[in-house]
Amino acid sequence: MCRVEKDLPSTDAAKADAFNAAVKVKYPTMPGGVTMGVVSKLGVGDSYKTITEICEFEKTETCSLEHKEGEVWLLDFWATWCPPC
């Protein structure tokens, strides 16, 4: 298996998305377990992307979370099979 990765600052998120889309189209399946990808990571002071297609517990409609400057969020992810941390 071979894994090729690159981390970019969040300001280059569009470049990372464009690269990953181009690689997926050109090489939909990589032989021999090869994976490639570029990720843009958040740094101190960076704004968050909108989190889309969230489905609330026991509801069918989805919503989005859009961060606004000055807000502080606490996101609690859990699963029924996961013991308490």
7-22 tens-digit pLDDT: 888 888 888 888 888 8
Quick check: 12 and 40 in contact, CB under 8 A?
yes
Q: Region 58-62: what's the mean pLDDT?
A: 86
Quick check: 55 and 23 in contact, CB under 8 A?
no
pLDDT at 53 over 80: yes
To 5 degrees, how large is the angle CA 43–CA 49–CA 50? 155
Q: Which pLDDT belongs to residue 19?
A: 84
Q: Which pLDDT belongs to residue 58?
A: 83
